[in-house]
Chain A
Amino acid sequence: MIRSEILKEIAPILRDQLVVCNIGIPSQELHAIDDQPTNFYMLGTMGLASSIGLGLALAQPKPVIVIDGDGSVLTNLGTLPTIANNEANNYILMIIDNGSYGSTGDQPTYTGRKTSLAGMARAAGCENVVEVQDVDTGKALQAAIDGGKMTVMVVKCDSGNAKMPVITMDPVVIRDRFMQAVAS
């Protein structure tokens, strides 16, 4: 499965949750599949989805699901120790690990070779780390939500992108409606 197929499958689970979504095509796909005020789309700033989500989870009680990418986590590896040492049980970091920089044309990342993000998360001190195959994403995500424990999910899937339009919504509109959804 490629990322967009996973997102289609888990859209019903994501719908009522606060979601912070990774830059580029992941956000375009989520926006096209099921735009919700509870979605925060990153239009720039590669790497910070996990940090934004953690700050949000620590600041308020609702569950927060971060849809991140292998390339973005690799560029902000310092996030893993911060996540591990500031435990928020309403925080789920779901890394779509397609082994590539998908948005920029599927150039391979090191996770397709020797590097294990699950292993790195564990070494950083994250206690609840699961690695799942694409077909099991929905089951694992629901289990993570129901478990009520801070979870890092590494979802192994194929590289590839769906053709979706760019997001033209103004960033302040995205942010404002998201904040209203958070506060409601």
Chain B
Amino acid sequence: MSIDRRIADDLVANGVSFVTTVPCKQLAGVIEEIDQRDDIFHIPSNKEDEGMGLCAGAWMGGKRPAIIMQNTAIGVTINTLATLIQYYRMPLPMLISYRGELREPVACQVEMAVHTKALLAQLNIPTYHFHWQKDVEEFDNILKYTFMCNKPVAILTDANFWGGYGDQ
């Protein structure tokens, strides 16, 4: 089974029905998969902090949300994570492509990669790093954990997890 489908299946199985996305090349497959699911309302956002606002509202309206974004967006969303998601104590699974890690072809991506885990740690955000395809097996438990504790939770998914960049 593809990891894209596995991730979408786990989201649906955990009642996640409202997903916002800002694309990354690594996330193209999973975004396409989510867009096709009848059980998930997919609402693309223009910036990740906007997307977190949408998720906060959807959760207060009774839906379980998730955001899919690139790790560079940690730089965009720190204020929103601290003053909205954490301050009001809201659950938010964040499926994050971890650009700038092993097998990365674009040098500039490394510049945010070196800050990603430190920023998440500074924010006390529970953080998981998927490096091998089998790591996806933990996704279901991470979703349950997120909605148990009402916190933002980061799932960093690197190029190796997604199968690399081929010949690039």
Contacts and interface: CB of A to CB of B under 8 A. Distances in A.
Interface of A: 20, 40, 42-45, 47-60, 76, 78-79, 81-82, 86, 171-172, 174-175, 178-179, 182-183
A45 B62 contact: no
Interface of B: 18, 41, 43-47, 49-63, 65, 79-80, 82-84, 87-90
Question: Nearest 3 A-B pairs (CB), nearest first?
Answer: A55-B57, A59-B61, A51-B53
Contacts of B50: 47-48, 51, 76, 78-79, 82
Interface of A is mostly: helix
A116 B120 CA distance: 38
A124 B43 CA distance: 16
Contacts, number: 116
Contacts of B57: 20, 51-59
A112 B53 CA distance: 27
B60 A48 contact: no
B59 to A, nearest CB: 8
A82 B44 CA distance: 8
A175 B60 CA distance: 8
Contact of B53 (A55, A57, A81, A174): A55
B53 A52 contact: yes
A183 B62 contact: yes
B41 A179 contact: no
Given A82-B46, A86-B43, A182 B54 contact: no
A45 B65 contact: no
A48 B61 contact: no
